[in-house]
């Protein structure tokens, strides 16, 4: 006589296999959104820097990307400021200010903000460090910026700490700009 259906052992084996697959697969699926949030914000940072560096080269003008962090929401705005006045094309002038590129033309002049170019990081903050190695000691909020000179270079090597929110995996990475104008990011620098 032929029986239709499954035995209890076959059902238990099937349920066991499904449980193992779910136990392995669910954390990977759960972390997928966090990794995507992290990568999206990194792409925003890279895109903003590449764009500002490019327009500094094309226009022969100095620019800064000012980072305005909101630590409560773990977000940041990447504001673009353009140098104005007679020294906007003067690479050596911007290199010589006490905090490089901090004064575009006169006392405390940050230039003109190009609000339409501001980009927002939804899941991370960026804090520029006072040194390029060792522990990251944060600069004052007013000096939390990166500068690009009229020739597309940077006035100095600089390092920053990127802190992702829990929505982006809570990772900490470092971001480094070089005098050449190039940049990179990674876990240790």
Give residue 188's pLDDT. Answer: 65
Rounded Cα–Cα distance for residues 162 and 173 (Å): 5
Predicted confidence at residue 32, as pLDDT, reads 59
H or E segment and range at residue 148 = strand 145-148
- What pLDDT was estimated at residue 31? 57
Mean pLDDT per 10-residue run, the chain (189 residues)?
74 87 68 81 93 92 93 93 79 71 72 93 94 89 91 89 90 90 78
pLDDT at 129: 93
3 state DSSP class of 161: strand
CA distances from 166 to 150, 169, 188 (A): 38, 5, 20
Q: In terms of pTM, does the model score above 0.85?
A: no
Residues 106-118: tens digit of each pLDDT: 667 788 899 999 9
Give the model's pLDDT for residue 25: 67
Q: Tell me, what's the pLDDT at 94?
A: 67
CA pair distance 102, 104, nearest whole angstrom: 6
């Amino acid at each position: 006589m032929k029986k239709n259906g499954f035995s209890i052992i076959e059902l238990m084996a099937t349920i066991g296999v499904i449980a193992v697959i779910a136990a392995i697969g669910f954390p990977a699926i759960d972390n997928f959104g966090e990794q995507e949030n992290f990568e999206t914000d990194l792409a925003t940072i890279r895109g903003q820097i590449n764009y500002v560096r490019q327009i500094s080269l094309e226009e022969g003008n100095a620019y800064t990307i000012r980072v305005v962090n909101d630590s409560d929401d773990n977000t940041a705005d990447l504001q673009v400021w353009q140098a104005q006045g007679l020294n906007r094309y003067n690479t050596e002038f911007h290199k010589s200010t006490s905090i490089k590129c901090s004064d575009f033309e006169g006392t405390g002049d940050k230039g003109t903000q190009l609000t339409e170019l501001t980009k927002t990081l939804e899941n991370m903050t960026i804090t520029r460090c006072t040194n390029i190695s060792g522990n990251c000691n944060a600069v004052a909020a007013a000096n939390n910026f990166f500068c690009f000179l009229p020739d597309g270079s940077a006035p100095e090597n600089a390092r920053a700490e990127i802190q992702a929110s829990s929505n982006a995996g809570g990772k900490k990475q470092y971001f480094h700009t070089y005098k050449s104008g190039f940049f990179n990011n990674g876990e240790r620098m």
